[in-house]
Amino acid sequence: MDITTSTLQLNTPDGRMETFEARPKSDGWYPGIVVLMEAFGLNDHIKKVTERIAQEGYVAVAPDLYHRESERIVPYSDLQKAIGIMNRLQDPKIMDDVGAAIAHLKSQGNVKSGSIGVTGFCMGGRFTYLSAAHHSKDVKAAVVFYGGAIPMGDPSPLLRTGEISCPIHLFFGGKDPMIPADHVNQIKTELTNKKKNFEMKVYPEATHGFFCDERPSYHAESAKDAWEKTKSFFAQHLK
């Protein structure tokens, strides 16, 4: 599907937030998806993912969650700097950002306001889980790619599992040094105990960042399978 892209400036309580948008060129009525970035910022990889989602028939937006920071894109080679910026983020403010992205989608004449999903990677995966709880009235489907630290924070996203009302799909790498197997098990247990509609896939040979083809951690087989599952999941629940 042919798409068009643009860079938007959305209003948040802390000022303007740059947001990358990709949408189908053809007239129609489409579901909307918010794409939440990794700790490295709103870089080319996240923009490409946003474009791929739009090509499947969605209006997709990727907000710059670092819009309060002076340095907003960090190279993959500087993980420590990325972690430093990520650790300054505050969950309530990020939920404001996600809320601004959702409000934008709902205001668009060609977006089905009752069919909005969220997906995110690494740090963005954690915020996807939190968004499913915090914005439960708006988020109708959520896909989490190697969301780290979901059981961490005060309150942690995990503690808000009971607020999630949408189906949620989670992907993890079995060889991920940044997400302990114990965290994955805690998430699975909590979702099960709270009787949530969820699917979880752990790829035994994959590590952290396995979906990003610009990093050494890329695992093509796992990334391909996760993408097919993501497309099917969003189509089932949003289209």
For the question of residue 67 being annotated catalytic, the response is: no
For the question of residue 176 being annotated catalytic, the response is: yes
- If you ran DSSP here, which 8-state letter would residue 58 be given? -
Phi, psi of 21 (to 5 degrees): -125, 140
- Residue 236 to residue 27: CA distance in whole angstroms: 21
Counting Cα atoms < 13 Å in the Cβ hemisphere of 34 gives 35
Considering the candidates 67, 104, 208, 219, report the single residue annotated as catalytic.
208
Considering the candidates 45, 97, 122, 134, report the single residue annotated as catalytic.
122
Name which of 204, 1, 2, 231 is nearest 117 in CA terms.
Answer: 231
Are residues 126 and 64 in contact, defined by beta-carbon separation less than 8 angstroms?
Answer: no
150 — alpha (psi -120 to 50), left (phi > 0) or beta?
A: alpha
Torsion angle of C-alpha atoms 113, 147, 208, 73, degrees rounded to 10: 70
Considering the candidates 64, 97, 138, 176, report the single residue annotated as catalytic.
176
Q: Give me the active site residues, please.
A: 122, 176, 208
